Structure 1
Amino acid sequence: MSNVIDGAVTALRAKLGDGFDGSAKFHILDEGCIVADGAGVREADEETDVTLSADRETFEAMLAGELDPSSAFMSGRLKIEGDMGAAMKLGAALSG
C-alpha cells in the first residue's frame, strides 16, 4: 500500500467511522483505489454504487477539510460516476 493510499484510508476511517451506508470507491489517480462500504474502509478496486476520481492533491484537500467535495465536483477537480445520491451522502460525511 502506498503512503498516499495508507493515509487516505486512515483519514476516511476517521471521517466515516464503522463504514458507509452504500458502497463507494475513491480512485486516486496514479495511486490506487479505496472502497468504503458497510464493512469499513480498505484499499480495494471493486464494483461500487459510486466512484469518485481525482488527483492526490484534491483528495488530500477534501480529507483535510480544506476543499468542499461539492466545490471540487463543480470545478471539475472531482469526477463522479454512478449513484449521485450516494455521492451526496458521502460528500456530507466528508464535509463533517
Structure 2
Amino acid sequence: MADVSDLIDALSDRAGALAALNHTVRFDLTDADTSIFLDATGPVVHIEESKADAEAVLKLSSDTLDKLITGRIGPMLAFSTGRLRLEGSQGVALKLAGLLDS
C-alpha cells in the first residue's frame, strides 16, 4: 500500500500539468479509508487529505493511484479492469485522465 503523504507529494509534483484541469477531484482510497482532494479551480492547485465534495470522485486503491501517477497503468485500463470506479462527472475524469497520461 502506497503512503498517502507520498501520493500527495507525487500529485503535487504534477501540479503544473494538473492546473489545466480547472475542476475538483477526490480520490477515495479504498485500502486506506481516507481521501485525497485535488482543487484545480484557482490559480494554485491545492492537494490535501480531505473528504470534501468534488465534481468527480475516483474510487481506487492507493497502489492503483500510485501507478496512475507514475504512468505504470493508464486511466482507461484501470477503469476497464475495475481497478478504478467513477462517481460524478465523467467529463472531468476524462480531462484528468488526459493530464495524467501526458
Same fold (TM over 0.5): yes
Aligned residues: 94
Does structure 2 retain, via aligned residues, the 8 Å contact 1:29–1:56?
yes
Answering whether residue 15 of structure 2 is matched by residue 8 of structure 1, we say: no
Shift of 1:29: 1.3
Counterpart residue type for residue 23 of structure 1: T
- Cross-structure match for 1:91: 97
Shift of 1:16: 2.9
- Cross-structure match for 2:26: 25
* Cα distance in 1, alignment partners of residues 98 and 24 from structure 2: 15
Which consecutive unaligned segments of at least 5 residues does structure 1 have? none
**CA RMSD for the aligned pairs?**
1.6
Give the TM-score of the pair, scaled to structure 1: 0.88
The 4+ residue runs of structure 1 with deviation greater than 4 A are none
Which consecutive unaligned segments of at least 5 residues does structure 2 have? none
**DSSP 3-state at the match of 2:94:** helix
Shift of 1:95: 1.2
Counterpart residue type for residue 26 of structure 1: F
Shift of 1:73: 0.4
**DSSP 3-state at the match of 2:99:** helix
Query: Once the two structures are aligned, what percentage of the paired residues are identical?
Result: 26
Answering whether residue 79 of structure 2 is matched by residue 73 of structure 1, we say: yes
- Cross-structure match for 1:43: 49
Give the TM-score of the pair, scaled to structure 2: 0.83
* Cα distance in 1, alignment partners of residues 14 and 100 from structure 2: 6
